Structures are given as structure tokens and as C-alpha cells.
Structure 1
């Protein structure tokens, strides 16, 4: 009988030890005393990471999806039980008002450097923040975008929410599927020159060295013509695009301007008439949720490869 309190005490100590965990988030170490119970994710791709890990029951809502018109049928089914708390970037008041204890967001994915919603501004209210790995370039040094950025986020979420086995199984599956696909992919001796057209007519908004499309394009046998643009997403000049003469244009589909409208703009503009991509009408469309880090990245590589090499 005397052993029972001791055993119970040891059990309690063990449970506390197991409940506390630390992960790296950009340039910070974040320690969690327990599994978050009132999580909020921002943006469609980050929300899908939560859903693919089966974490809907740990969430009180999501933000930043409908305002960008990125919600498709698959995603709509996944979040039907959860409220959208803000159509675009949430305010601090929105997160506090939802009694959130965790915010999964990124820099320019729900947070802005120097903005009102940051890890520092949310900490006093008991809201821990985990930052999307791809977005860390906005506040710290990192290597160019790679599939490991997405894998890292899945694994860290698995650690934070105590579903490590599920996270590891997902990542192992993604890696195996990608390796099998790329191993059998027939490409040319030289990678295809690819331009990512996100938006903009006067000046194009595109993916640079640190944005996920660079990794997706490389996995599919191409090279991002803006891979010396040392940003994640940003604005370049049309002159630079013309000078580098892409063989394929990858259009990111979201927002008020459709992918077909973006294609028509390039096809009908005399300034682009000599581009190989325009002359041969070689355009591939990725949905926003495919072009940003998340569970659909493997299928995005397959879609790109089909567009690159099936013609």
C-alpha cells in the first residue's frame, strides 16, 4: 500500500516530462507545456497540414482562406466543422477572442514583420506561435527552398501535438512517393527554364530562391529562372523575364484574376511574343495550395512534370 503514492507520484512526474516539448521555429526555440487544445491556423496550406495530421479536434478555427478564394471542395469538406475567424490576416483581437492557445502561421502567411500579430505580441496572451519554415527567410537566414521545409513543418507539428508517429509515417510516405516518381521521370539533359507567374501586369509577382515552387520545379526537372532572386515571393521586372526567356510558365491560380486570364495576358501581349513559352503555348497551372508548402506538394511535382515533359 505504501508503494502506491510513490508510483502515482512517479507517474505524474513522467507525464509532466512527456507533456513538455521544445521545437525550433525559425530563429526561436518554443517550449510547450502540453498539447495545444485551442489551435488556429492561417492560410489554406497550413490548415491542410493540421488536417492531414488529424488535428481538427484541437482547433477552434482557421483564418486567411476565403479572402484569397483558395477554398476548393476537398478543403471545404475538411474544415466544415470549423469556423473561419477572419477571411484574410487575423487581428490580435480575433485570436484572443477565440481563446486560442496556439497559432500556426508564417511571415506573409498571416503575420507581417513589425505587424500587430507576431510571436512577441501574442505571447502575453498565452498564445504560442509556430512559424512556417519556408517563411523564416523574412527574419533569419536559411537555405533555398526544399521539400525538407514542408517535411520539417509536418514533423514539428507532430511533436507539438503528440502525433509524432503519424507525422513520421506521412513524411516517410511523401519521400518514398516522390523518390519513386522522380526516379522514373524522363527529362532532358538540360533542365527546362521555368517562370512562376503569380500575379501582376505592370510588374510580375513571382517565386524566388526561397519559395516552394523553386523546389517543386527542380524536382520535376526544371529550373526557376528567378532562382538568383534572393527572396521567397516578390516583384521582379518583365524585362528580366524576357531576357531569361522561359520555356514554360507556371501560373499560380488564386484570387480575382483567373489562371486563364493570366495566360491570356501573356499570350496576347506583344512584349512576350518571342518567349519560348508563349510561342509554344506552354503553361502549367498550380493551385495556390499546391504551390505553397503543404500536403499537396508531391502531386504538384507530378503535375509540373506532366506539363514539362508530356508535350
Structure 2
């Protein structure tokens, strides 16, 4: 749920920007990475990519699944930090990639694989105790790409996650590896699925949703600007906490009871923490004296989605699909 949004990744040729002045990528951006001496810029750091990488390391699951979706298993020297079962369609390719660590590998473990490209959608992958800062990898001549959704610096982060941002990142990664056509096809397929999910969602339900990510004593819920907020708008429902100007604020049950959402969307997390699984959330909500009185709880209006789908990734469209199906089941 550590998500930040910004359409600020550019692919540059020396002396030629492939991004418009507004910061959004132009249609020529993906092609720039194919040329010798191309530069990739992400979250304010530009590094040279002299040739399509052959020994890339994806540092967490979102990055891994984007790369595998582009057919890049044979270009990967390693992966790490699997938080959920890999998408079934990618499972066979995933088995071909060495797993370096259960969570983040440290700098030495990454360096030992002699990578020529690092990729993460989360800035925590580049912490000192993890793979190490991107600037340090730049000095070693290794491009370290960070998703625009979680830049290290707040000023580089936009207020909202948008699907165009996600789709452009997929195309940018495809361009870095010289497989632009795969990127275009992947994005085209995602757009078709997203359009269908929006089209098939029930209209004019007036439903107010609470997106419940984790925690029981202190619940973490979706506020404004994150992927759940964006998906709610696309599908035509309201995020009951969209007035809170944080993507994942810490809530309290008394305020939640006052707002009394119509539907609760439950993140089904597999990490085993307090209130992580969807079933654990349901048990808590039904047992707690305050939450058991919520209209959504009394009427069993729950929609369960994989927790990983709430992050901007190749799975993001599936969040819209699951919400659309869930609303259809509840409202017809």
C-alpha cells in the first residue's frame, strides 16, 4: 500500500527529451531506449542504459510481474520479495528466475549477481539495509529504475495514481529492454479489460465504499489519491474517505461508524499479520461491538480483493474487474 503517483518517467536520447513540458510521456518515449547510449530517468535520477539489459534484477513482486508479463524471464538474474502467489499466468516463467531473498536482498547479494539493471516499484527496495541507494548503483554503472508511484522525494510525487501512469510505466520498461511491441500489446489488453469492467459495473448505485487494507486496533483505509480512490471514480461509486488527503490514512472505528459505509472492500493479504486476511477482517468486524453495527457488516456487503491488487502494478486492472463484479453481485 506504499503508493505514490507521478507520470514522470522519461526515456531520453542525449540532448533530446522524449517527454513533453507537462511531464507526461510523449508517444516517442518508448523508442528512445533502443538507441545506443540511451538514458532512462525515473524519480529524478537519470542513468545510461547502453544496451537492452541481460542480467536484470526485480527487487519486489510488482516489478517482477511487470517484467514477466513482457516475456523477460530470460533477461532476469534474480527476483525477491514475493508478497502473494504469483499470477497463475506467470507462474511457469517465475520458476525460471532465481529468488535472491524472501524479502529484499542486501547490497552484497545483489552485487554478487552482477546485474546490469535494477527495478522496483517501491522505494524501500533501495534503502541502505536493502539493495542500497540508487545513486550508489549509478556510480557502479548499474541503472536502478524506480517506479513513479513511490519516488524517494515527495516533491516528485503527484497527488493521484492514474491508469495512464501505470500503462506508461509498462511501456517504458518494455522500451528499456527493446521489446516495445510487447509493451504496446500488454497495455492494449489492459485497456480493453479496464473498459469492460467500467462498462459492466452497475450504474447509479449511490454506494459509499470503505477500502479496508489492514489492521484491527488501527485500521488502514484508503483515502484520496491512491489506486482504490481512482478505481472507485472509474467504476462510478464513492470512496467514503476520499476527503482525507492521504492515500492510506490510519483510521479509527468511531469515525468509520459515523460515516457508516454501504460496502466494505476487504484486502486479502497473505503475510499473516493482524487483520491481514479477508476472513480475519470479517471475524473482527462481526465481533467488535462498534463495527458489528455497521450497515455493511450487518448486511454482509463485502467485496474481497487481493491485497496486491491495491498497488499500482500489472494487477491494477483486476482491481477494477473485481470491484465491478462485486458491485454487480450486490446491486445487480
TM-score grouping bracket, smaller chain normalisation = 0.7 to 0.9
- Tell me: CA distance 1:109–1:175, structure 2 relative to 1, closer, same or farther (3 Å): farther
Contact 2:34–2:178 (8 Å) recurs in 1: no
Which stretches in structure 2 are left out of the alignment for 5+ residues?
A: 1-32
Q: How big is the shift at 1:274?
A: 2.9
Report SS of the residue matched to 1:229: coil
Is 1:130 equivalent to 2:183 in the alignment? no
Is 1:197 equivalent to 2:212 in the alignment? yes
Residue aligning to 1:302: 321
Deviations 1:230-253 (A, max 9, x none): 334453333332232221111212
Q: How big is the shift at 1:264?
A: 1.1
Query: In 2, Cα distance between the equivalents of 1:223 and 1:28?
Result: 36
Is 1:243 equivalent to 2:262 in the alignment? no
Contact 1:89–1:111 (8 Å) recurs in 2: no
Is 1:289 equivalent to 2:308 in the alignment? yes
Is 1:165 equivalent to 2:173 in the alignment? no
- Tell me: CA distance 1:173–1:90, structure 2 relative to 1, closer, same or farther (3 Å): same
Q: How big is the shift at 1:154?
A: 0.2
Residue aligning to 1:179: 195
- Tell me: CA distance 1:80–1:203, structure 2 relative to 1, closer, same or farther (3 Å): same
* TM-score in terms of structure 1 length: 0.84
Query: In 2, Cα distance between the equivalents of 1:142 and 1:237?
Result: 26
Is 1:49 equivalent to 2:84 in the alignment? no
Contact 1:211–1:233 (8 Å) recurs in 2: yes
Residue aligning to 1:154: 170
For 1:90, which of 78, 90, 105 is the aligned residue?
A: 105
- Tell me: CA distance 1:69–1:299, structure 2 relative to 1, closer, same or farther (3 Å): closer
Is 1:34 equivalent to 2:27 in the alignment? no
Report SS of the residue matched to 2:300: coil
Report SS of the residue matched to 2:121: strand
Deviations 1:171-225 (A, max 9, x none): 12222332244234332163x2222222111101233333222222332332323
- Tell me: CA distance 1:100–1:52, structure 2 relative to 1, closer, same or farther (3 Å): same
Report SS of the residue matched to 2:35: helix
Aligned pairs (5 A) from 1:38-77: 38-65=55-82, 68-71=83-86, 73-77=88-92
Q: Which moved more, 1:264-273 or 1:75-84?
A: 75-84
| Higher CA-based Rg | 1
Contact 1:194–1:247 (8 Å) recurs in 2: yes
Report SS of the residue matched to 2:151: helix
Deviations 1:9-28 (A, max 9, x none): xxxxxxx9823333441233
Query: In 2, Cα distance between the equivalents of 1:231 and 1:114?
Result: 27
Q: How big is the shift at 1:49?
A: 0.5
Residue aligning to 2:24: none
Which stretches in structure 1 are left out of the alignment for 5+ residues?
A: 1-15
Q: How big is the shift at 1:149?
A: 2.4
Report SS of the residue matched to 2:293: coil
Query: In 2, Cα distance between the equivalents of 1:181 and 1:153?
Result: 21
Q: How big is the shift at 1:35?
A: 1.0
Query: In 2, Cα distance between the equivalents of 1:198 and 1:121?
Result: 34
Report SS of the residue matched to 1:284: strand
Aligned pairs (5 A) from 1:267-282: 267-282=286-301
Query: In 1, Cα distance between the equivalents of 2:266 and 2:244?
Result: 18
Q: Which has the higher helix share?
A: 1
